[in-house]
Amino acid sequence: MKMVFRWFGEGNDTVPLSYIKQIPGVEGIVWALHDLNPGEIWPIERILEVKQMAERHGFHLDVVESVNVHEDIKLGLPTRDQYIHNYIETIKNLAKVGVKVICYNFMPVFDWIRSDLFKELGDGSTALFYEKAKIEGISPDKLVSSFLENKEFSLPGWEPERLQRLTELFEAYENVSVGQLWDNLKYFLEHIIPVAEQHGIKMAIHPDDPPWPVFGLPRIITNRENIRTLLRLVNHPNNGLTFCTGSLGANPLNDLPGMIREFGDRIHFAHIRNLKRYENGDFIETSHRTGDGSVDVHEVVKAYHEIGFTGYARPDHGRHIWNEECRPGYGLYDRALGIMYLWGIWDTLVRMKEG
């Protein structure tokens, strides 16, 4: 298991690289050029700037999260070929500096969705919260207006470019069935996987978060059966997964350790975190510790250890603790605690195996 840590870039992240360096066992940063819109080619000079910065602190930048997929590719529009061409150019540029894994997602319009970014956990800390009734009871129209007014909703993981096109995108997706979304993903993968293979890059799709359709938009990377379908779409080792326990774990039917054992060699990147599910479908993100949430993080790490996982892993969203002011879910303190929990389990398993 190679431990890495997500970093949003100079001036864009509250956590300095010199602090990340002090977390035990972190060897690389997980990065992206966040100011670029989906569909733009990542210029090599910009990539080299990040490389130099990372290397000054002794970090590698083997993992990129994310190279976002342009909406026209997901929609299967004729313009997709140009955007796929650009995606391929970005893959090639990333390969030039030694990137090994590209994380991306295929969620229509939205990335991860929460109703509250700073929900009290009861001990003075706050965390990301999903209130099912609030999110699923709202019409896309209301969502659009409330989001644009920036009042009721605050949805992270979005590019401003998408926001401007929200109404138009909702209309466009009315013509896209689940089957078509799969076809569009297949078309994309058939074009990029051969290039990724040639350039030594593993593609790692991130599951949908939450793993069910939201606002009437299809979502497909949600469970075991669908992940099997995804891996068969282009049955090649470079077509793999970012296995996110937080996203998939929101559905109690997902047997996470079992899925890790089944998909093992196709998991190129592990996102490990916990969350607490409520009976009404709400969930809140908790500390990484097994006892604090509904995901058995201990069993998850055990499954990775059993399959001899040598891929990249990162702690995922943390709570906001000790009055830290940070990007929602991406503070230093709780993610650092999360890492020490993961190492604690991992190192014990290694020691036990050694006898």
Smaller CB distance to ligand DNO: residue 233 or 272? 272
Q: 3-class SS at 79?
A: coil
354: Cβ contacts below 8 Å, ≥ 6 apart: none
Query: Which of residues 65, 71, 131, 334 is near ligand DNO by CB under 6 A?
Result: 65
Among 3, 66, 91, 285, binds ligand DNO (CB under 6 A): 66
Catalytic (active site) residue 85: no
Neighbouring C-alpha atoms within 13 Å toward the C-beta of 257: 11
Per the annotation, the verdict on 103 as an active-site residue is no
Q: Dihedrals φ, ψ of 318, to 5°?
A: -115, 170
Residue 14 contacts by C-beta under 8 Å, 6 or more apart in sequence? 324, 325, 326, 327, 331, 332
Structure tokens at 44: 């090599």
Query: How do strand 116-120 and strand 126-130 relate by DSSP bridges?
Result: antiparallel
Residue 161 engages ligand DNO in binding (rule: CB under 6 A): no
- With contacts defined by CB under 6 A, name the span among 100-108, 195-203, 252-260, 294-302 that binds ligand DNO: 100-108
Q: How many residues bind ligand DNO (CB under 6 A)?
A: 13
Q: CB-wise, 155 or 349, nearer to ligand DNO? A: 155
Q: What is the largest CA-CA distance in the chain?
A: 61
188 binds ligand DNO per the rule CB under 6 A? no
Q: Are residues 23 and 336 in contact, defined by beta-carbon separation less than 8 angstroms?
A: yes
Q: Is 274 in the site for ligand DNO (CB under 6 A)?
A: no
The smaller minimum CB distance to ligand DNO, of residues 111 and 255, is found at 111
Task: Tell me if 157 contacts ligand DNO by CB under 6 A.
Answer: yes
Least spacing, CB of residue 105 vs ligand DNO, in Å: 4
* Cβ proximity to ligand DNO, 13 vs 65, nearer residue: 65
Of 74, 206, 266, 335, which one interacts with ligand DNO (CB under 6 A)? Answer: 206
Candidate residues 50, 103, 169, 321; the one interacting with ligand DNO per rule CB under 6 A: 103
**Nearest approach, Cβ of residue 312 and ligand DNO (Å):** 13
Cβ closest to ligand DNO, residue 103 vs residue 241? 103
**Angle at CA 190, nearest 5°, toward 188 and 196?**
90
Task: Respond yes or no: is residue 268 known to be catalytic.
Answer: no
Pick from 86, 90, 93, 105: which binds ligand DNO (CB under 6 A)? 105
Distance CA 68, CA 75 (A): 14
How far are the Cα atoms of 25, 70, 114, 115, 222 from residue 156, in angstroms, in the given order?
A: 28, 17, 8, 10, 20
Question: Is residue 206 among the annotated active site residues?
Answer: yes
Identify whether 191 is a catalytic site residue. no
Alpha carbon distance 58, 27 (integer Å): 8
Q: Which residues bind ligand DNO (CB under 6 A)?
A: 65-66, 103-105, 111-112, 157, 206, 244, 271, 317, 329
Active-site positions read 206, 244, 271, 316-317, 330
